[in-house]
Structure 1
Amino acid sequence: MTKKWLDVSPKDWFYRSVLEADKIFLDSKREETLFTPKRYNKFVTGKSRKVYNFTTTGGQTKFHIKGYKPDSRETVVVYVDGIPYNPTKLEKDYVHVGFPMAGNKQVSICLSGVVQMHQGDHTPKNCQTYPLTSTCSLAYPSKKLEMSKKYVFDLRYSLNEVAVCMSKKLTRVNVDKAEGESIQAALTRSIGDKDDCFTIIDGVLYVSYNLNQFPIYINYNYKSGAVVKNRQKEKVVPSSKCVMNNDRFFPNITVSRAEFFVILQRMRKSLYGKYTDRGYHPNSVDKTERHISDRKKIVGKWYSEDVLNILDEKFNDGCYVFPLYEDNSFQPEVCVTKAEAVVYLHRFSEWALERFR
């Protein structure tokens, strides 16, 4: 489907490492990978994220996008029948591909937009660089179906409900909306940040955030009198004015010690899952034992369980794997230095070899 990382390409020096890391799954359903995406939806004025859809004519090599201006900060991806290509040339109002195409090809051009970033000033208290999010009201991309008033979900014909985007089938998600619960809340609970999912509620198609503005071909059931019929390949383009994107790797941002240790912890979970019968079972925050002088700065944060659990890990001789500062503080919001990263990775590999050999 759409590229997992819009800003990672084969020419990048870190390309192979990122792809290999994406093959490390942390759950049995193979949905949760080592790196968690950074969420973002705030853009520089005039450079928001957009998708343009075309049907090709024979021999076509360029696409007209009125008002488009190339920007070195923006990533452009051309999807031809679902296969991503990098454009060969970008110019005012036009995006070029490097080969003449056959007619009736479905092409979607994704302009990533220019994300607004928090720029750290490299001081210990403000060292991080990260993408920003807006306060708009999130809504999953949606589109009312032509037969919405007659739509019916019949378990006997549930396999006939199919959605295809760029030649690939989407995953259908059952959404059981609780009494008094909003549709957005139910979708957030059922779909969350998962990619390439769809559902139909009261004749309205809803899809994952990453499919905003992409064309979907949908089969669904509807009633014609007393008979249930199947609507075939209805083309819709679900959209939303406020989505939460998570498809950029942001290779040049800086990370805090807490975020770096969350990555180590995810690797630790993976090792326990692979090489022990019991698997990984974290302690609750209040059951972690290590004395950390600035523990109050950690407890209650999104990373608290991961950080406090991995800091409890010991070598066989009883020494803790990861050192704290001289005052026994962890300083979670300070950025990791290259020297610290090398030490942490070295000690992690030593521990892993000792623990799972």
Structure 2
Amino acid sequence: MKRWIDVDPLDWYYRDTLEITRMRTDLTGDVEVLSGMTYNVFKEGYERMVKRFVTVSGQQEFLVPDYKYHVNNPVFVIVNGVEVLPEKVENGKVTMTNPLSAGIEVVVIAYGIPDRKDIGCVNTPYNRVGDYRMPHATLKYASTYHFSYSNQPESCTVLGVKLKRLLVTVGAGSDAGVVIRNAIGFQRDVFVIHKGEVYLPYMYNGFPAVIGYNAVIKGVSRRTSETVVVESGRVTYNDRFFGDVRIRRGDFFALMSRIYENLHNRYTDRAFAYNDTPLRPIVDKDVILSQWYSNDVLTLLDEKFHDGCYVFPLYEDGKFEPEACITRAEAVTFLNRFIEWITEKYR
């Protein structure tokens, strides 16, 4: 699956978005420079939908009664792990170009249309808070499942994509679901098997997965595989870029700070550290300190060029106004000054 399901190769920002998506703040590659916006609420009638079929001989039509056609809610059809363009898509039905043979797996996916809400100047997707659980399924031989390094490695394939086994230790008395959720987070390429239960990333909710594992079957330890559908009613997604959402000044500075951290770790051997004692007087500093991006913003606002001038200007009244939406003029100014400062700092 694409990193951003709403970014198309024909979009003018496609190349830049993908390039910055590949950037990480540290050398371990754990923290993305550009994170997605989480969401889990959809417009009524345009919910996320995944339907799996196993064809009968000559089948060409696939009924998806929950699907309502919309230009912003296209259908993707995966035939035996390969994306295929359907001949026709209409409300409740998808028609393929040619009849299919019997026993073929066909998965019809519609990613839905996220609902949005206005928060100040930002029209942002909804993300209802809840006790999220990773999509999961119980394996057929869960009661006799066992893991050993001496056995053939466990495997998980979702629509032709192979995921990596993530080893997670669940301590006595701990909630396995919570521990596994925290371990997987928003990673996209891992899976976990714990006590015969398989867990996948949020993005695969409702997807069929082929799981290979070891279990005792009829008294003999052997390798087996099966197809399961992982599901959870409490998920949050992180697979859209939302390129048309406006951004706050504080968020924009957080993004620049992550790029700064990436460049620092790339070109120096010193550990990156935020400025814990910024000296620059800022009238609304208390507002900045109350936000998640306070370290990012205050660190950058305290930076100076070699001539002693601050890199980033404040408003005339000495405020930064982190919750105000950034204008195109401000974005260009900040980026240009950021590039000048970084070039001066590391050349």
**Aligned-partner Cα distance in 1 for 2:14–2:140:** 43
Q: CA deviation at 1:89?
A: 4.2
What are the within-5 Å matches in structure 2 for residues 204-243 of structure 1? Answer: 204-224=197-217, 227-231=220-224, 233-243=225-235
1:260 & 1:278 partners in 2: Cα distance? 25
Change (3 A) 1:305 1:88: farther
How many residue pairs align between the two structures? 346
Report how far residue 214 of structure 1 moved.
0.9
Does structure 1 residue 281 correspond to structure 2 residue 251? no
Shift of 1:12: 1.5
Normalised to the residue count of structure 1, the TM-score between the two structures is: 0.89
Structure 2: distance between partners of 1:90 and 1:177: 45
Give the TM-score normalised by structure 2: 0.91
Matched, 1:347 2:337: yes
SS at structure 1 position matched to 2:238: coil
The aligned counterpart of 2:26 is 27
Q: How big is the shift at 1:176?
A: 1.3
Verify: 1:179 aligned to 2:172, yes or no.
Answer: yes
Unaligned 5+ segments in structure 2 are none
Q: Give the counterpart of 2:190 among 172, 186, 197.
A: 197
CA separation of 1:323/1:59 partners in 2, compared to 1, >3 Å: closer, same or farther? Answer: farther
User: What's the counterpart of residue 269 of structure 1?
Assistant: 261
CA 1:96–1:261 in structure 2 vs 1: closer, same or farther (change >3 Å)?
farther
3-state SS, counterpart of residue 298 of structure 1: helix
Going from structure 1 to structure 2, the CA distance change for 1:322 and 1:81 (only over 3 Å counts) comes to farther
Q: Give the equivalent residue in structure 2 for 1:145.
A: 139
User: Any unmatched runs of 5+ in structure 1?
Assistant: 121-125
In 1, Cα distance between equivalents of 2:339 and 2:238: 29
Answer yes or no: is the 8 Å Cα contact 1:44–1:116 preserved in 2: yes
Contact 1:145 1:204 in 2 (8 A): yes
**1:81-126 superposed Cα distances (whole Å, 9 cap, x missing partner):** 44456656431222356x5486455432221122110135xxxxx1
CA contact (8 A) 2:133 2:181 kept: no
Q: How far, CA to CA, are the matches of 1:278 and 1:133 in structure 2? A: 37
Take 1:219 and 1:294, find their aligned partners in 2: how far apart are those partners? 56
Query: For 1:129 and 1:84, how far apart are their aligned partners in 2?
Result: 32
Distance across 2 between alignment mates of 1:84 and 1:353: 44
RMSD value, Cα: 2.3
Q: Structure 1, residues 161-204: CA drift from partner, whole Å, max 9, x if none?
A: 11111122211111112333212220122111111321111111
1:47 to partner: Cα distance:
2.3
8 Å contact from structure 1 (residues 294, 329) kept in 2? yes
- CA shift, 1:274, in A, is 1.5
Q: Deviations over 1:309-345 (max 9, x none)?
A: 2222221122221111112211111000111111101
For 2:34 and 2:239, locate their aligned partners in 1 and report how far apart those are by CA, in whole Å: 11
For 1:191 and 1:273, the matched residues in 2 are separated by 25
Q: What are the superposed Cα offsets for residues 295-322 of structure 1, whole Å, 9 maximum, x if unpaired?
A: 1111142211211222222211222211
* Contact 2:144–2:217 (8 Å) recurs in 1: yes
> Are the counterparts in 2 of residues 324 and 330 from structure 1 also a CA contact under 8 Å?
yes
Once the two structures are TM-superposed, the CA of residue 32 in structure 1 deviates from its matched residue by: 3.3
8 Å Cα contact 1:106-1:166 kept in structure 2: no
Pair 1:309 & 2:299 matched: yes
Alignment of 1:78-157 (within 5 A): 78-84=77-83, 89-96=88-95, 100=98, 103=101, 105-119=104-118, 126-157=120-151
Preserved CA contact (<8 Å) 1:174 1:190: no
Quote how far apart the aligned CAs of 1:31 are.
4.3
Distance 1:246 1:332, change over 3 A: same
Q: Which amino acid aligns with 1:177?
A: V
Structure 1 position 227, deviation (Å) = 4.4
Instruction: Specify whether residues 204 and 115 from structure 1 end up closer, same or farther in structure 2 by C-alpha distance, changes over 3 A only.
Output: same
* Percent identity of equivalent pairs: 36
What is the deviation of 1:76?
3.1
Decide whether aligned partners of structure 1 residues 299 and 202 sit closer, same or farther in structure 2, where only a CA change above 3 A counts: same
1:76 aligns with 2:75: yes
Distance 2:106 2:29 in 1: 29
For 2:206, the aligned partner's letter is Q
Distance in 1 (CA, whole Å) between partners of 2:249 and 2:138 is 45
1:255 corresponds in structure 2 to 247
1:54-99 CA distance string (max 9 Å, x none): 34568866533124220234243333444456656431222356x5
User: Secondary structure at 1:309's aligned position in 2?
Assistant: helix
Quick one: structure 1 residues 86 and 314, their matched pair in 2 at CA, closer, same or farther if it must change by over 3 Å?
farther
